[in-house]
Structure 1
Amino acid sequence: MTKATEVPPYLRIVAGIRRRIAEGELGIGDPVPSTRRIAREWGVALATATKALTVLRLEGVVETRPRVGTVVAGGGRVEGRDAGASGAFAASSGPAPVSSSTPSSAPELSLERIVRAGIEIADAEGLAALSMRGVAARLGVGAMSTYRYVPSKDDLVQLMADAAFAEEGYPAPGEGPEGWRARVELGARTLWVLHRRHPWLAQLASLTRPLLVPGLMVHAEWVLGALDGHGLDPVTLFDIHVLVYSHVQGLAAHLEREAHAQGDTGQSDQEWMDQRASAVRALAESGRFPTFAGLVREFEALEGGYDLRLDALFESGLTALLDGLAPVVERRRKL
């Protein structure tokens, strides 16, 4: 193959995924490989993998679903489009079939579009898949175009977080639930909703090095305001705010980790556990962990066994946390 007719790597990936769909290896609704898996399988950069998925998405062959990833679309057409490196694409040195992303038809590039594209990538693939080149590929612009608006990936992530946290607000002053507890519950649940929607938010900062963006400060102000005026000293007041936030962030961190694990292994958490049933049984039958062994026997007797539900853990944990804090807040108020 001459250099003039050599197929770009992203088009070979596009052809390979089309072929898998056409041959029935991937059906409607099935997840296609994530950008990380494509990068490993094809030996390309993440930006190249993102560009390949963007081509397929623009043609309607695949679609992106938050926290599921990229799946085969119901209306995607692949008939006669599954040529490999020696087929139709190899015979043409023309541009990629992505006319909807050409400068003449694409919306004007803006900071808002760049931030939104970054959020879409992080929602679907996780922060590990995010790159400035990947954002540019998703928007159908030159690799360096985004740098005119955002200096670096770190700056982009800050802007993405600010925008994501700002998606949910609170009642106006004088409105909303009465009482410190109901208001703190509203703040915690609002943060949980946002972390559920954008699990990568939990990966951005630690408690000791917090994320300092206005969008997140809105939520901090709401919880601090709910606790203010109850006679709490400044350290105790702020500590309670940190405890509430850490409850949300600590559980939400597992949302992103599970998404990464599923993307890397192709297994759901249940499938992963099913494959390790013998290891669990060996621990239970070792005689060293009698309480654990008893629970395993009880779970085996239950229909469906034990199901770890993060939403339920969030609610029960929040109740326990506020039950424990109630005497502190209310005692100080009475003094």
Structure 2
Amino acid sequence: MQDTEALSAMLSRHAPREGVWPTALPRLWIIRLDAPGGELAHAVQPASLCLISQGAKEVRLGEERYVYDAARFMVFTTDLPVSGRVTEATPERPYLCLRLDFDPEEVAELVARSGPPRAPAASGAPVATVAPVASTGNAEGDDLGRGLFVSAVTAEMRDASARLMRLLDHPEDQAALAAMAMRELVYRVLRSEQGERLAQVARADSQTQRVHRAIRWLKAHYAQPLRIESLAKEAHMSASSLHHHFRALTSMSPLQYQKQLRLQEARRLLIAEGLEVARAGHAVGYESPSQFSREYSRLYGAPPSRDAAKRRDTPASRFTA
């Protein structure tokens, strides 16, 4: 408990107000919220480790609901369009989260050096840490499950996190020690009960790695028309295999994934850049304004113009995933 409180104090000092705070260390972020969220926030979450020191949060991937807090960490093994909200936070005890974005080359090196991770948890929901809304979280025939998981925080992870945060107060030590502290955190994830899910990302020509190729292509070309045969060729898979493994990892089809990317970018254009609805829809690949409005309303619960007007009056930190 003292370790958690000490980590919270350091996180709070480096994130004095609500928001997503970059740090002096590459790939390391601090997220703070002073009150629970209302509506679900939508974002594409990068491949990363999220470790809460105070408060709690729920994350939804499709119809699946994952809950984590100071006793459990969350890992995204790939970039996933998710929604989420903080469920426990007060001004006196704000929600505080450390996020470390993964470097695929670092993960691969650690896998090569440390040997096979522990076997993944039994097929189904990850060890009493996921409460499914309408799905168990694993596709038939997929042993590794989703591209995110929740698992128990260890004392070693807290210690590595605290040492990493202390380096923010000692810039002279960062060049020599920061990389080692980051590597240790990633190593602890790989040695966790579900570390094999992260290790799959580093294995050349694994099905997970092939789906990652498809995801990278979709992120770079989301506004273009999607042809499954071309995407499957990019991933070095058959179309049927791509559909199966893509859904197993992300809980959605490639087309649904593309739609999430399009709508989230359109929302950003509407709110942050003030684009007109028709221009925002066209910019992300919609040829039909009516189709754009329908799909936007289905995801966000309101037409684009009304939703954008409401969000412009709300602090941006409320809508970070």
The question of a shared fold, defined as TM-score above 0.5 by the shorter chain, is answered with: no
- Look at both structures and tell me which one has the larger radius of gyration over its CA atoms: 1
Larger helix fraction of residues: 1
TM-score, normalization by structure 2 = 0.31
Larger strand fraction of residues: 2
